[in-house]
Structure formats: C-alpha cells, structure tokens
Structure 1
Amino acid sequence: MNPHPPATPGASEAVTPQALRQRYESGATVDELVTTSGLSYGTVLNRLHDAGTVMRTSWQTRRMRQNPQARKRLAAHLRTLHEQHGATLTELATTAGETRRGARRLLIEAGGTVRTTQQTQRMRTAARAAERYKVALSLRARYEDGATVPDLAREHSYSIATVYRLLHQAGTRMRPQHHHGPAHDTKERP
C-alpha cells in the first residue's frame, strides 16, 4: 500500500525513469525519491532499473554526501600514517573514527596498500633500530667531547653496560680505562 499517493491522477506517469535516475545519481536515496515522487518503493526501483541506473550501497551514499575534499585529506593523512609511521589498520580506524574496513577503504582510495602483520612488525623493528642508532651516535659525539660513560648513563637513564653497548654499535674508539680507586702500591714493603 502506498502511503503517499500521487497528488493528481497521472502524476506517477509524469515521473520518468530518466528524471528519477538523474536525481538518484545526484545523491538522493530511494526512500527520498519515494517521498518526493509519491510512487511506491517498488515502482521507484523498477523505474531506476529501467533507466539503467547503477545502484549504490548505503555507505557509498554516505561517502557521496560527505565533503569530498575533507575525505581526500583524511585519506591522504591515513596513508602517511600507514606508510611512514607504521600505523596499523586498527590505529588508522581510531584516528579516523571509522571501522577497520572504513579505514582500509580510505587507505586504498588514497592509493595506499595494506600491509600484512609481518610487514608492519618488520617496519617497526627497523624504525626502533634506526632510533637506537641515532641515540648511539649522539652518545658517541658526547663521549668524544669528553663525557664519561657513567655521566652518559646518568644523563640518559641507561645502565653503564647499555651505554658501552651503544657506543660499541656506533663504532666509538674507546679511551683507556682509568682506575679511580685508591692507588695500589706495587712495590713490596720491607
């Protein structure tokens, strides 16, 4: 039963399939076309199909109605986070306020490719190693400027062993160790 009968007899025939298709492709939903045309849901669908209309899903309609520039910016931002910072789909979804599927769709729209879990782990391991090497180089520069290993350990909240390991990784040429304890007399006493 049609809750919205046409205003005048023959008005339903005046709503052509091409007119419905044009409004649908401009972003109107089938429900909105039913309300504005006074036709039944089935009649609107039949006329859209007669006109060769490619039907959308609800998420495609929502995407179509969103600000396209804002969507492109968000998609580009998610791609940057994914490719340069190693963000996972779950992290992207949280950032975008989307589901994982929605974040994946945005990433693909921006030209990005989804990584496997193993690829993400390798990427993050490499990033941590690069960061650790930067720290090792900064420790080396301070050591070569005269800082001692215990001083460097205190400044960076590292153990002395960690500072030695990082200095070694940076290829630091170590100074000879000095014994700062009390001097030991090597001569025998009479």
Structure 2
Amino acid sequence: MTTTPARPTGWSPARQRQALDLAARYRHGETVRELATATGLSRATILNRLRMVDTPMRTAQQTRARRQGPDRARLANQLRTAYEAGSTVTALAEAHGLSARTVRRLLGEAGTVLRSSAETRRLTRAGHEAERRRQMDELRRWYEAGVSVPALAAVHECSPSTVYRLLHRAGTTLRPRGRTIAGPATAPP
C-alpha cells in the first residue's frame, strides 16, 4: 500500500524562484491572465504566488490603463470633451461603437464627473426642444413660401395635424385651408 507523502510546509527553492519571476514579470506590465496563459498555471495559483512574495497588486482600472496605453487615454479625453459639451453616454456609446458601461469607465478614467439622471434628462429635453424649434422655423419658412400643409406633412413624414400644431406654436398666421399661394414645392426664400 502506498501512502501520499506529506506536503512540505515551506516552499522549495524552485517554487520561490518561480514566484519571484512571476512578480517581476507582473511588475513589468504582464497581467495575471497573461502570466497564467504563458506558464500554464491557473489564475488562482498565479495570484497566490504573487501574494506570497508581497507583490503590490494593480486595480482592474490600472491594468486596463497600462494595457491600453496612450490610445485609451486619448479616447477617454475625446469622450470627456464631447460629454462636457453636452453629449450623453448613450450617444457617445453609439458614435464610438462601445457599450455605455465602457464609455462610463473611460469617462471615469479621464476624471469626468458624470451627470445625474435628472441632469441628463434635462439636457436631452433641451436638445429635443432645440431640434423642435429648428423644425418649426423650417416649416414656417416653407408654409409662408406657399407650400401646403399636406405637402409639408408628406415631406416631414408626420400628420397634417402635427404640421398645423407646429405652425401654430411657431406663431405662423395660417391661411384658410385649401388655399396655397405657390404651385409646386420649391425652396423657401
């Protein structure tokens, strides 16, 4: 009958050298995942060996910043500039093909203080109101140039009642229904 030998209480010189080698590679920028892939050890074993030789561990954010380098910092600064100019996290995510979570993380890395949900809603509402004001002004110019309400509704892909409502909000003096001044739709003056 064979018995399993007892585990040694101290580390062998080979294991100590391995732990010190892993610590040096980690300090020079390799990640735990990269060390595990290179050595064939599990991530838990790598972490255990690094801790046993008192290796200061990086945070996940520090690891990402170190791995990504200046390109990531440049992107984070671009996102910060756009965000502070009024863009939302959702709009930035769509524009850069990133997830909203990644955009928030990059904004945090750039030192951006994120807006509250209420502030974002107010900003979005103000953007929608500015777009609506632009649309109302455009409808008014076309209407005053003689284009009919049904034609404006068709061009803007909305109902005639929406066009009437927007014209009314824009302060347009409405013609009696059915009376257009100009023939075919042309650019307003």
TM-score, normalised by the number of residues in structure 1:
0.59
1:85 to 80, 84, 87: 87
**Residue equivalent to 2:70:** 69
Structure-2 separation of matches of 1:45 and 1:139: 69
Displacement of 1:75 in angstroms is 1.6
CA contact under 8 A between 2:26 and 2:32: conserved in structure 1? Answer: yes
Distance 1:46 1:141, change over 3 A: same
CA contact under 8 A between 2:79 and 2:92: conserved in structure 1? Answer: no
**Residue equivalent to 2:164:** 164
Q: Identity rate of aligned residues, in percent?
A: 39
**Residue equivalent to 2:131:** 131
Moved more, 74-83 or 126-135: 74-83
Structure-1 separation of matches of 2:31 and 2:156: 61
Please list, as runs of the form range in 1=range in 2, the aligned pairs for 1:1-190 lying within 5 A after superposition. 5-6=13-14, 24-28=26-30, 45=51, 49=54, 54-66=56-68, 68-79=69-80, 82-83=83-84, 84-88=86-90, 91=93, 95-96=97-98, 100=101, 102-172=102-172, 174-177=173-176
Letter in 2 for 1:71: R
Distance 1:25 1:151, change over 3 A: same
Structure-1 separation of matches of 2:145 and 2:92: 45
Q: Deviations over 1:53-95 (max 9, x none)?
A: 74313552243122x2220233234335644332349957x94
> What count of residue pairs does the alignment treat as equivalent?
161
Please identify the structure whose Cα radius of gyration is greater.
1
Instruction: Extract unaligned runs of 5+ from structure 2.
Output: 1-6, 40-44, 180-189
CA contact under 8 A between 2:73 and 2:110: conserved in structure 1? Answer: yes
| Coordinate RMSD, CA, aligned | 4.4
Distance 1:30 1:85, change over 3 A: closer
Letter in 2 for 1:112: T
